[in-house]
Structure 1
Amino acid sequence: MATVNPTTADIQHDITNIGKDDSAKNSTTSKTNDLESLSSERRPVAKWYHWHEPGTSPQEKRLILKIDFFLLSISCLIFFIKQVDGNNVNNAYVSGMSEELNMGPGDELSWMNTYFSIGTIVGGTFANMVITIIKPRYWLSLCLMIWSVFVLAMYKCNTAPQMYVLRFFIGLFESAVWPGVMWCLGSWYRKSELARRSGLFVMSGVVGGMFSGYLQAALYTGMNGKQGLSAWRWLFIFDFILAIPVAFYAFFCHPDTPDKTEAWYFTEWEKKRALERMEEDGRKPTGKLDWTVLRRTFGTWQVYAFTLGYSFWCLTCGSFVLQYFSLYLKATGRFSVPQINNIPTALGAVNFVTMISTGYIADKIGTRWPVCLTIGLIMTFNYAVLTVWNVPHTLRMVVFILHGVYGCFTPLLAGWTNECCGGDQQKRALVLGFMVSVGQAVVIPFQQIQMPSGSAPEFKKTHGWGSSLAWVVILTVWTGFCIPLLQRRYGKEKAGSISESADETGEP
């Protein structure tokens, strides 16, 4: 075989090309760095006010817009009606019902709330398991129509016991709403999207409570005595009328869940992408409704942690402060009936602002305990002032109104539950429903013994405000420190078990 010896010209040619190659490589590297620098400059930056995750494609933004428009609007409208119907008894009570039905200074209003709570206890867990079998658009719209019929029947009541029976059945069917809608929201939205949407949902209930006050004030001024009916009776009639179009809207337009949706407004790509979004978020729909759901739920930490958190929140009687505020305004003798209905809506305005801000902050920082801790400290101040009670009238008015911050706890806890329960749909439903049932169960004796309406607004003999203050402190510690510690501990254990499993199989 002949050997080829390089010539001097060949060697010089190679040396020249090496220099050119190095120069070309340097040029390419420089251009790549320039492109990377330019790309990093154009890379989307997360902002406090963003509604979508940075880098979301236009197609996915359209999908989220549809979910927001239909699912979120339906959820808000249903909860709006629920809260209107939940507050109407209080508005009716201070607008002539107690006098017309000869209720006197007793605890009839507290008993109306108690029978409503009993209905919620009975229906809460069951209703939220049904929603995993019957499509939400059928179940929620049906429950709305049934409880609205019972609301309508209240305008015919002439005794307190009649009210108690109807309030029980209203609570029974209303129990499907809060856990059911929260479950639906958790089925469609990512963890980084959930807190602010949950906040908007609960905020609609705040608006509903405010609207009930405005409606009763308007009816008292313009409809009192029409057709021989008192203004408080007209309130129940109008509440029923408001519910009808919402029920039809929910029936025809609710998207159900991503794995079962047949919504007419989604494209095939959007239906597929909705499922992929949950899988990417680590919440692919899993689980089935059988007896193992009890082990999957009660054998884990989430059900105990969040049920205790929700129960502590209920025991503060925060959701009843609106009615205590109305009773305080009536007891002062300084305000007219329309003012007694209108002034407490300022509490709802504070709730409105708090819902928006805390939802955004929780989504932005990616955790909920700092927000719970902050709100808990504000509530501690409010209850401390009310416990002292002997303070100027203006300060009492301020803390009653500032108490509107309490409402953000429910969407924060619900979003936290959805996040920690992952894609197990039946487990999420059972935990959310169980939270509501237990919370309503524990608050019944507390409200009747410590904060009966007959002792409002000071609760001097029963020490109601002091008892609630103690529960606020416990709630603040539990949500601000204990739940995060549980989540961190058991999250690490889960990660460790996954890592061990991977080592055994030899996979990364």
Structure 2
Amino acid sequence: MLIKRQGRSWYHWFAATDTPEERKLLLKLDLLIVPYAFIGFWINYIDSSNINNAWVAGLSEDLGFHGNELVDFQTIYQVGSVIGQIPFAFLFPKLPMNWLIPGMELFWGVFTLLQFRANSYSELMAYRFLIGLFEAPFFVGVHFVLGSWYRADEIGRRGGIFYIGLTLGSLTASLIQSAASANLEGVAGLAGWRWQFIIVSLMTFVVAIAGFFIWPGTPDIPNKLFLSDAELSLARKRMADNGTGSNVDTNTNTAVPKVNLALLKSIFTDWKIYTLTIWDILFWNSDPQPWGGYLLWLKSLNRFSTSSVNRIGSSSPGLGIAYVLFINFSSDLWLGRTNSIILAHVVNIASMTILVVWTVPESALWFAFNIYYFDIAMSSVLYGWANDILRHRKEERAITLIIMNTAPTAIRAWIGLLVFKTVDSPRFTKGYSYCLANSIAIIPWTLLVRYLHKRYEKRIIGEPSDSEDRGVEQVSYAAAKSERDVLGPVTGHL
């Protein structure tokens, strides 16, 4: 059986078929999940990207770095992130997310703070590795929680608001460093770039502590501080109707089998894990902004002060906020997932082409750097779509989301050493060419994902699903097949 969903105008937050009780629940979930996810990601990205701001604010000169140290710091952070993600594929469905995610945030805040005292290459490398290690579960953990509470036609906009934290984090890191350089240089004998690490770590501790109380966990292991039993029951029913797998079979109230060899075999002999992971690799590797190209280019112009470089460098992520909102709201309510992803990468292809050519009017370079956040604007569309494809089995969803995120992180951990070498700045010809190739490749791959998703839904329920595009149809999983039916006899092959 399919539950038909009516389309809606772009300004309608709820669907016409949502009951008053559902709307009240969604509003409460939005207040508990989305603000903390957004603020947490904001802090997360400040703490992960501020090494670029500190570098152009005097860190390189103060510590005598004149080679590839910046890309080394970026790389060791990625290495920590890869190692840190591996255990969480199995921990997400088993531990309270309102303890796991804020707890990790406290730890990375400690090592963000310790960067202020760094006086050597090896010391800063160690701190960057540990920040990456403890930040590792945050991004995927948020998407796991979003996919545990929201349907396919609801997740894009919430994920988009969450993802604004990245662009706002880049913007804020630039503005904090600009203010620290202008007002705190030399205070208490500390350089302005050292003060930045102190300020943002204190912000991190506040957000982490709030998360222990606000973050609602998942419907299976909830934080009941703000949610009643009736609301939890309604949330579980909504997700059961959506076909989202649970640790509990709502029909028999018995536990669904945990991770075992049969489950792992079905996951790793299935198209989903490979197709989605390659998709995410193409996405991650089409993104140039982690390597700080815009800031390094501004510094190379030799016409702006240290504080001005960081202040002007905030323009690109500032515009990125609008790009993120446009792409993600369009995904749910207007363009659909496929067209939103294609649009984001058409713009990115234009940006990367200009940066590869490079010998263009300076105004064209300003334009290219200020539109290259269009690429990452579609992140929550991709992860929301993956959540929808994987919704039938909770354990599979956790494992696949982690592998999806770990594989591109592992590639990013070394690719920068090859194509984004600090000594090549500000013109990263190899790097921008690499991003351009991945951005071109992701468009046909997205069409492949759409085709395979529709075929997969048809195989399960007997007719195609249109949820890929507008969230028009949602599967009643209990009416189609039980979780154990899918997990048992089906091996994962098409």
Contact kept in structure 2, 1:143 and 1:174, CA below 8 Å? yes
Is 1:493 aligned with 2:487?
Answer: no
Is 1:232 aligned with 2:193?
Answer: yes
Contact kept in structure 1, 2:317 and 2:373, CA below 8 Å? yes
Q: Distance in 2 between matches of 1:51 and 1:79?
A: 23
- Matched positions, count: 455
Match of 1:65 in 2: 27
Q: Deviations over 1:43-80 (max 9, x none)?
A: 99721111111132332222111111111112112111
Question: 464, 468, 472: which is aligned to 2:431?
Answer: 464
Contact kept in structure 2, 1:125 and 1:436, CA below 8 Å? no
Is 1:113 aligned with 2:74?
Answer: yes
Q: Distance in 1 between matches of 2:138 and 2:431?
A: 29
Match of 2:156 in 1: 195
Matched position secondary structure for 2:307? helix
Question: 447, 450, 453: which is aligned to 1:484?
Answer: 450
Contact kept in structure 1, 2:81 and 2:134, CA below 8 Å? yes
Match of 1:39 in 2: none
User: Cα distance 1:437–1:248, how it changes in 2: closer, same or farther (>3 A)?
Assistant: same
Q: Distance in 1 between matches of 2:480 and 2:185?
A: 72
Instruction: Give the structure with the higher percent helix.
Output: 1
Contact kept in structure 2, 1:418 and 1:428, CA below 8 Å? yes
Q: What is the identity, as a one-letter code, of the residue corresponding to 1:174?
A: E
Q: What is the identity, as a one-letter code, of the residue corresponding to 1:67?
A: L
Match of 1:85 in 2: 47
Q: Which moved more, 1:230-239 or 1:436-445?
A: 436-445
Q: Distance in 1 between matches of 2:288 and 2:264?
A: 31
Question: 442, 446, 449: which is aligned to 2:411?
Answer: 442
1:291-440 paired onto structure 2 within 5 Å: 291-320=261-290, 323-365=292-334, 367-440=336-409
Contact kept in structure 1, 2:46 and 2:169, CA below 8 Å? yes
How far off is 1:500 after superposition? 12
Q: Which moved more, 1:280-289 or 1:376-385?
A: 280-289
Q: What is the RMSD computed on CA atoms of the aligned residues?
A: 2.2
How far off is 1:367 after superposition? 4.0
Question: 433, 442, 457: which is aligned to 1:475?
Answer: 442
Q: Distance in 2 between matches of 1:292 and 1:230?
A: 56
Match of 2:472 in 1: none
User: Cα distance 1:411–1:207, how it changes in 2: closer, same or farther (>3 A)?
Assistant: same
Q: Deviations over 1:206-230 (max 9, x none)?
A: 1111111111111111111010000
Q: What is the identity, as a one-letter code, of the residue corresponding to 2:431?
A: G
1:11-30 paired onto structure 2 within 5 Å: none
Q: Deviations over 1:317-359 (max 9, x none)?
A: 43425x1100000011121212211222221122211211221
Q: What is the identity, as a one-letter code, of the residue corresponding to 2:62?
A: E
Matched position secondary structure for 2:222? coil
User: Cα distance 1:55–1:438, how it changes in 2: closer, same or farther (>3 A)?
Assistant: same
Match of 2:102 in 1: 141
Match of 2:251 in 1: none
User: Cα distance 1:501–1:68, how it changes in 2: closer, same or farther (>3 A)?
Assistant: closer
Matched position secondary structure for 2:15? coil
Matched position secondary structure for 2:260? coil
Question: 32, 36, 58: which is aligned to 1:96?
Answer: 58
Contact kept in structure 2, 1:303 and 1:431, CA below 8 Å? yes
Over 6 Å off, 4+ runs: 497-502
Q: Distance in 2 between matches of 1:135 and 1:307?
A: 26
Contact kept in structure 2, 1:128 and 1:179, CA below 8 Å? no
Q: What is the identity, as a one-letter code, of the residue corresponding to 1:64?
A: L
Q: Deviations over 1:353-387 (max 9, x none)?
A: 12112212211258411111111111111111111
Contact kept in structure 2, 1:152 and 1:237, CA below 8 Å? yes
Q: Distance in 2 between matches of 1:282 and 1:206?
A: 32
Q: What is the identity, as a one-letter code, of the residue corresponding to 2:8?
A: A
Q: Distance in 1 between matches of 2:262 and 2:384?
A: 24
Q: Distance in 1 between matches of 2:440 and 2:335?
A: 24
Question: 179, 184, 192: which is aligned to 1:218?
Answer: 179
Matched position secondary structure for 1:260? coil
Bigger radius of gyration, 1 or 2? 1
Matched position secondary structure for 1:196? helix
Q: Distance in 2 between matches of 1:341 and 1:366?
A: 35
State TM-score, norm by structure 1: 0.85
Kindly indicate whether structure 1 or structure 2 has the higher relative contact order, using CA contacts under 8 Å at least 6 residues apart: 2
Match of 1:52 in 2: 14
User: Cα distance 1:440–1:501, how it changes in 2: closer, same or farther (>3 A)?
Assistant: closer
Match of 1:257 in 2: 218
Q: Distance in 2 between matches of 1:372 and 1:380?
A: 12
Structure 2 unaligned residues grouped into runs of 5+? 248-255, 464-476, 483-494
User: Cα distance 1:404–1:262, how it changes in 2: closer, same or farther (>3 A)?
Assistant: closer
Matched position secondary structure for 1:403? coil
State TM-score, norm by structure 2: 0.88
Q: Distance in 2 between matches of 1:95 and 1:178?
A: 28
Q: What is the identity, as a one-letter code, of the residue corresponding to 1:471?
A: N
Structure 1 unaligned residues grouped into runs of 5+? 1-42, 503-508
Contact kept in structure 1, 2:147 and 2:391, CA below 8 Å? no
Q: What is the identity, as a one-letter code, of the residue corresponding to 2:228?
A: T
Q: Which moved more, 1:218-227 or 1:451-460?
A: 451-460
User: Cα distance 1:370–1:399, how it changes in 2: closer, same or farther (>3 A)?
Assistant: same
